[in-house]
Protein backbone atom coordinates (compact mmCIF):
# COMPACT_ATOMS: atom_id res chain seq x y z
CA UNK A 1 0.00 0.00 0.00
CA UNK A 2 0.99 3.64 -0.27
CA UNK A 3 1.30 3.95 3.50
CA UNK A 4 3.63 0.96 3.69
CA UNK A 5 5.77 2.30 0.84
CA UNK A 6 5.99 5.70 2.58
CA UNK A 7 7.64 4.21 5.66
CA UNK A 8 9.98 2.07 3.58
CA UNK A 9 11.22 5.16 1.75
CA UNK A 10 12.04 7.11 4.92
CA UNK A 11 15.78 7.57 5.51
CA UNK A 12 17.29 6.13 8.69
CA UNK A 13 18.52 8.68 11.23
CA UNK A 14 22.15 8.47 12.28
CA UNK A 15 22.36 6.55 15.53
CA UNK A 16 25.29 6.48 17.95
CA UNK A 17 25.77 3.66 20.45
CA UNK A 18 26.79 4.93 23.90
CA UNK A 19 26.95 1.77 26.00
CA UNK A 20 26.00 -1.89 25.99
CA UNK A 21 25.38 -4.61 28.56
CA UNK A 22 24.37 -8.25 28.25
CA UNK A 23 22.96 -10.90 30.55
CA UNK A 24 22.51 -14.64 30.20
CA UNK A 25 19.44 -16.22 31.76
CA UNK A 26 18.48 -19.84 31.22
CA UNK A 27 18.99 -20.49 27.49
CA UNK A 28 18.60 -16.88 26.35
CA UNK A 29 20.90 -13.90 26.08
CA UNK A 30 19.67 -10.31 26.37
CA UNK A 31 21.52 -7.25 25.09
CA UNK A 32 20.73 -3.77 26.42
CA UNK A 33 22.17 -1.01 24.24
CA UNK A 34 21.99 2.72 24.99
CA UNK A 35 21.76 4.64 21.73
CA UNK A 36 21.29 8.23 20.69
CA UNK A 37 19.93 9.96 17.61
CA UNK A 38 18.31 13.29 16.74
CA UNK A 39 15.27 12.42 18.85
CA UNK A 40 17.28 11.71 21.99
CA UNK A 41 18.60 8.75 23.95
CA UNK A 42 16.88 5.40 24.10
CA UNK A 43 17.53 1.79 25.11
CA UNK A 44 17.26 -1.02 22.62
CA UNK A 45 16.70 -4.48 24.07
CA UNK A 46 17.51 -7.56 22.00
CA UNK A 47 16.53 -11.08 23.04
CA UNK A 48 18.58 -13.80 21.33
CA UNK A 49 16.96 -17.23 21.38
CA UNK A 50 18.86 -20.54 21.25
CA UNK A 51 18.11 -20.75 17.54
CA UNK A 52 19.78 -17.39 16.93
CA UNK A 53 16.60 -15.40 16.30
CA UNK A 54 16.37 -11.88 17.71
CA UNK A 55 13.34 -10.22 19.28
CA UNK A 56 13.72 -6.50 19.83
CA UNK A 57 12.12 -3.80 21.91
CA UNK A 58 12.93 -0.08 22.00
CA UNK A 59 12.35 2.15 25.06
CA UNK A 60 12.89 5.88 25.39
CA UNK A 61 14.70 6.88 28.58
CA UNK A 62 11.53 8.04 30.40
CA UNK A 63 9.75 4.82 29.42
CA UNK A 64 12.80 2.78 30.48
CA UNK A 65 12.63 4.41 33.93
CA UNK A 66 8.94 3.56 34.28
CA UNK A 67 9.60 0.04 33.04
CA UNK A 68 12.38 -0.40 35.61
CA UNK A 69 10.03 0.70 38.41
CA UNK A 70 7.34 -1.73 37.29
CA UNK A 71 9.94 -4.46 36.99
CA UNK A 72 10.65 -4.03 40.71
CA UNK A 73 6.96 -4.65 41.40
CA UNK A 74 7.00 -7.79 39.27
CA UNK A 75 10.08 -9.06 41.09
CA UNK A 76 8.42 -8.50 44.46
CA UNK A 77 5.26 -10.27 43.31
CA UNK A 78 7.27 -13.16 41.88
CA UNK A 79 9.05 -13.62 45.21
CA UNK A 80 5.69 -14.23 46.92
CA UNK A 81 4.66 -17.02 44.56
CA UNK A 82 5.02 -20.63 45.53
CA UNK A 83 6.84 -23.20 43.43
CA UNK A 84 5.55 -23.78 39.95
CA UNK A 85 3.70 -27.01 39.25
CA UNK A 86 3.30 -27.45 35.48
CA UNK A 87 0.99 -30.43 35.88
CA UNK A 88 -1.48 -28.32 37.86
CA UNK A 89 -1.72 -25.47 35.36
CA UNK A 90 -5.29 -24.97 34.09
CA UNK A 91 -4.09 -23.78 30.70
CA UNK A 92 -1.01 -22.69 28.78
CA UNK A 93 -1.47 -18.96 29.36
CA UNK A 94 -2.03 -18.31 33.03
CA UNK A 95 -1.40 -14.64 33.78
CA UNK A 96 -0.03 -13.94 37.26
CA UNK A 97 0.31 -10.14 37.11
CA UNK A 98 -0.34 -7.49 34.47
CA UNK A 99 0.71 -3.86 34.09
CA UNK A 100 0.61 -1.32 31.27
CA UNK A 101 2.73 1.69 30.28
CA UNK A 102 1.10 4.50 28.32
CA UNK A 103 3.50 7.30 27.55
CA UNK A 104 4.83 9.35 24.62
CA UNK A 105 2.09 8.05 22.27
CA UNK A 106 3.33 4.49 22.92
CA UNK A 107 1.80 1.58 24.83
CA UNK A 108 3.52 -1.38 26.40
CA UNK A 109 1.84 -4.39 28.00
CA UNK A 110 3.69 -6.30 30.73
CA UNK A 111 2.42 -9.76 31.68
CA UNK A 112 3.95 -12.15 34.18
CA UNK A 113 2.79 -15.49 32.84
CA UNK A 114 3.18 -19.17 33.51
CA UNK A 115 3.07 -22.16 31.22
CA UNK A 116 4.59 -25.63 31.09
CA UNK A 117 8.02 -24.13 30.40
CA UNK A 118 7.96 -21.99 33.52
CA UNK A 119 7.27 -18.41 34.53
CA UNK A 120 8.27 -15.47 32.38
CA UNK A 121 7.62 -11.77 31.83
CA UNK A 122 6.30 -10.88 28.42
CA UNK A 123 6.77 -7.23 27.38
CA UNK A 124 4.93 -6.24 24.23
CA UNK A 125 4.67 -2.90 22.45
CA UNK A 126 1.46 -1.94 20.72
CA UNK A 127 2.05 -0.60 17.22
CA UNK A 128 0.02 2.17 15.60
CA UNK A 129 0.35 0.46 12.22
CA UNK A 130 1.10 -3.05 11.07
CA UNK A 131 4.73 -3.60 10.09
CA UNK A 132 5.59 -5.79 7.11
CA UNK A 133 8.57 -7.95 6.21
CA UNK A 134 10.18 -8.18 2.78
CA UNK A 135 7.57 -10.71 1.68
CA UNK A 136 4.77 -8.27 2.44
CA UNK A 137 3.50 -10.27 5.42
CA UNK A 138 2.69 -8.60 8.77
CA UNK A 139 5.41 -9.08 11.37
CA UNK A 140 4.86 -9.80 15.04
CA UNK A 141 4.65 -6.73 17.30
CA UNK A 142 7.92 -5.87 19.11
CA UNK A 143 8.12 -8.02 22.22
CA UNK A 144 10.45 -10.00 24.44
CA UNK A 145 9.91 -12.91 26.85
CA UNK A 146 12.17 -12.66 29.91
CA UNK A 147 12.46 -15.77 32.13
CA UNK A 148 11.27 -14.82 35.62
CA UNK A 149 14.49 -16.08 37.19
CA UNK A 150 16.41 -13.43 35.25
CA UNK A 151 14.30 -10.41 36.21
CA UNK A 152 16.60 -9.27 39.03
CA UNK A 153 19.75 -9.40 36.91
CA UNK A 154 17.91 -7.70 34.04
CA UNK A 155 16.67 -4.92 36.35
CA UNK A 156 20.15 -4.33 37.75
CA UNK A 157 21.65 -4.02 34.25
CA UNK A 158 18.88 -1.66 33.17
CA UNK A 159 19.24 0.44 36.33
CA UNK A 160 22.98 0.87 35.76
CA UNK A 161 22.37 2.20 32.25
CA UNK A 162 19.58 4.52 33.41
CA UNK A 163 21.68 5.92 36.25
CA UNK A 164 24.52 6.72 33.87
CA UNK A 165 22.67 8.05 30.83
CA UNK A 166 19.23 9.29 31.92
CA UNK A 167 20.26 11.92 34.46
CA UNK A 168 20.43 14.78 31.97
CA UNK A 169 16.74 14.45 31.11
CA UNK A 170 15.48 13.68 34.60
CA UNK A 171 14.02 17.18 35.09
CA UNK A 172 12.77 17.62 31.53
CA UNK A 173 9.12 18.72 31.31
CA UNK A 174 6.66 16.06 30.20
CA UNK A 175 4.08 16.34 27.46
CA UNK A 176 0.38 15.97 28.36
CA UNK A 177 -0.69 12.35 29.02
CA UNK A 178 -2.54 10.20 26.52
CA UNK A 179 -6.32 9.90 26.58
CA UNK A 180 -8.83 7.35 25.34
CA UNK A 181 -12.36 8.13 24.10
CA UNK A 182 -15.00 5.66 23.00
CA UNK A 183 -16.08 2.12 23.70
CA UNK A 184 -14.46 -1.20 22.88
CA UNK A 185 -17.89 -2.40 21.79
CA UNK A 186 -17.92 -0.04 18.81
CA UNK A 187 -14.76 2.01 18.28
CA UNK A 188 -12.11 3.74 20.33
CA UNK A 189 -10.02 6.86 19.77
CA UNK A 190 -6.53 7.14 21.24
CA UNK A 191 -5.21 10.71 21.61
CA UNK A 192 -1.43 10.81 22.02
CA UNK A 193 0.78 13.90 22.22
CA UNK A 194 4.31 13.54 20.85
CA UNK A 195 7.14 15.55 19.39
CA UNK A 196 9.79 15.24 16.70
CA UNK A 197 12.11 17.53 14.75
CA UNK A 198 9.11 19.41 13.33
CA UNK A 199 7.59 20.17 16.72
CA UNK A 200 4.73 18.95 18.90
CA UNK A 201 1.82 17.02 17.40
CA UNK A 202 -1.21 14.97 18.39
CA UNK A 203 -1.84 11.58 16.86
CA UNK A 204 -5.49 10.54 16.85
CA UNK A 205 -5.83 6.79 16.31
CA UNK A 206 -9.22 5.30 15.45
CA UNK A 207 -9.44 1.61 16.27
CA UNK A 208 -12.16 -1.00 15.93
CA UNK A 209 -11.95 -4.77 16.11
CA UNK A 210 -11.26 -4.94 12.38
CA UNK A 211 -9.01 -2.01 11.46
CA UNK A 212 -6.90 0.82 12.79
CA UNK A 213 -6.06 4.18 11.21
CA UNK A 214 -4.48 7.39 12.45
CA UNK A 215 -4.07 11.08 11.63
CA UNK A 216 -1.37 13.42 12.94
CA UNK A 217 -2.31 17.01 13.82
CA UNK A 218 0.48 19.60 14.36
CA UNK A 219 0.12 21.72 17.49
CA UNK A 220 -0.44 24.93 15.54
CA UNK A 221 -3.84 23.61 14.38
CA UNK A 222 -5.11 22.40 17.77
CA UNK A 223 -6.85 25.64 18.71
CA UNK A 224 -8.65 25.77 15.37
CA UNK A 225 -9.83 22.17 15.79
CA UNK A 226 -10.95 22.88 19.37
CA UNK A 227 -12.90 25.98 18.29
CA UNK A 228 -14.59 24.03 15.50
CA UNK A 229 -15.62 21.18 17.79
CA UNK A 230 -16.96 23.61 20.42
CA UNK A 231 -18.89 25.68 17.88
CA UNK A 232 -20.29 22.62 16.11
CA UNK A 233 -21.31 21.00 19.40
CA UNK A 234 -23.23 24.16 20.37
CA UNK A 235 -24.87 24.24 16.94
CA UNK A 236 -26.01 20.64 17.38
CA UNK A 237 -27.96 21.72 20.47
CA UNK A 238 -29.93 24.11 18.23
CA UNK A 239 -30.32 21.37 15.63
CA UNK A 240 -31.89 18.93 18.07
CA UNK A 241 -34.15 21.68 19.41
CA UNK A 242 -35.39 22.46 15.87
CA UNK A 243 -36.23 18.83 15.10
CA UNK A 244 -37.95 18.42 18.44
CA UNK A 245 -35.60 15.83 19.83
CA UNK A 246 -33.65 15.84 23.04
CA UNK A 247 -29.98 15.17 22.86
CA UNK A 248 -29.44 11.68 24.23
CA UNK A 249 -26.52 10.55 26.35
CA UNK A 250 -24.92 8.91 23.33
CA UNK A 251 -25.20 12.19 21.41
CA UNK A 252 -23.82 14.37 24.20
CA UNK A 253 -20.11 15.23 24.19
CA UNK A 254 -19.43 13.66 27.57
CA UNK A 255 -15.91 12.85 28.66
CA UNK A 256 -15.35 9.12 28.95
CA UNK A 257 -13.02 7.51 31.41
CA UNK A 258 -10.14 5.46 30.12
CA UNK A 259 -11.33 1.89 29.54
CA UNK A 260 -10.47 -0.93 31.86
CA UNK A 261 -7.19 -2.63 31.18
CA UNK A 262 -8.97 -5.79 30.13
CA UNK A 263 -10.90 -3.94 27.45
CA UNK A 264 -7.79 -2.47 25.86
CA UNK A 265 -5.88 -5.73 26.17
CA UNK A 266 -8.70 -7.60 24.44
CA UNK A 267 -8.73 -5.10 21.61
CA UNK A 268 -4.96 -5.12 21.15
CA UNK A 269 -4.59 -8.90 21.13
CA UNK A 270 -5.89 -9.44 17.59
CA UNK A 271 -2.41 -10.30 16.34
CA UNK A 272 -1.35 -12.09 19.52
CA UNK A 273 1.40 -14.67 19.16
CA UNK A 274 2.07 -17.76 21.22
CA UNK A 275 3.83 -16.98 24.47
CA UNK A 276 7.44 -17.83 25.16
CA UNK A 277 8.30 -19.07 21.70
CA UNK A 278 10.94 -18.10 19.17
CA UNK A 279 9.56 -14.95 17.58
CA UNK A 280 11.10 -13.73 14.36
CA UNK A 281 11.23 -9.94 14.59
CA UNK A 282 13.36 -7.72 12.39
CA UNK A 283 14.40 -4.17 13.19
CA UNK A 284 11.61 -1.65 12.92
CA UNK A 285 12.15 0.81 10.07
CA UNK A 286 12.72 4.38 11.15
CA UNK A 287 9.49 6.34 11.07
CA UNK A 288 9.12 9.94 10.21
CA UNK A 289 6.13 11.78 11.58
Measured CA to CA in angstroms, residue 65 lies from 40, 105, 149, 170, 235 at distances of: 15, 16, 21, 10, 46
184 within domain boundaries: yes
- Residues 134, 234, single domain; the answer is no
**Entry pTM:** 0.61
pLDDT at 199: 87
- Residues 151, 235, single domain; the answer is no
- Residues 255, 114, single domain; the answer is no
- Residues 121, 213, single domain; the answer is no
Parallel, antiparallel, or unpaired: how do β-strands 28-37 and 40-48 relate?
A: antiparallel
Residue 221's domain comprises 179-264
Average pLDDT (131-149) is: 75
Between CA 24 and CA 168 the distance in angstroms is 30
CB 217 within 8 A of CB 224: no
pLDDT tens, 149-186?
Answer: 999 999 999 999 999 998 655 455 677 888 888 877 77
Helices (H) and strands (E) in the chain, counts: 5, 12
Between CA 286 and CA 283 the distance in angstroms is 9
Task: Enumerate residues 6+ apart whose C-beta is below 8 A from 180.
Answer: 188, 189, 190, 191, 256, 258, 259, 264
Residue that is last in its domain, among 126, 141, 171: 171
pLDDT at 258: 45
Residue 123 β-bridge partners: 110, 144
- Residues 189, 124, single domain; the answer is no
Helices (H), the chain: 2-8, 61-79, 151-165, 222-242, 261-268
- Residues 18, 142, single domain; the answer is yes
Residue 111 in this model has a pLDDT that exceeds 90:
yes
Between 71 and 7, the higher pLDDT residue: 71
CATH for 247: 3.10.450.700
CATH for 73: 3.30.2450.30
Amino acid sequence: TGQRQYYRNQPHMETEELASRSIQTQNKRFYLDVKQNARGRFIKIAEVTPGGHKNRLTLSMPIACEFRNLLCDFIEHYSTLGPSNPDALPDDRRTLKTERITRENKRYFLDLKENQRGRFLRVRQQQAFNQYNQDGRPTNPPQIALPAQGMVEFRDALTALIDEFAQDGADAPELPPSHVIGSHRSKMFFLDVGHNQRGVFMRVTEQTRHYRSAVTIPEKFWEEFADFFKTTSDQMEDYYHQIGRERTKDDSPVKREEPDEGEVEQLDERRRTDDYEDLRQDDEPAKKE
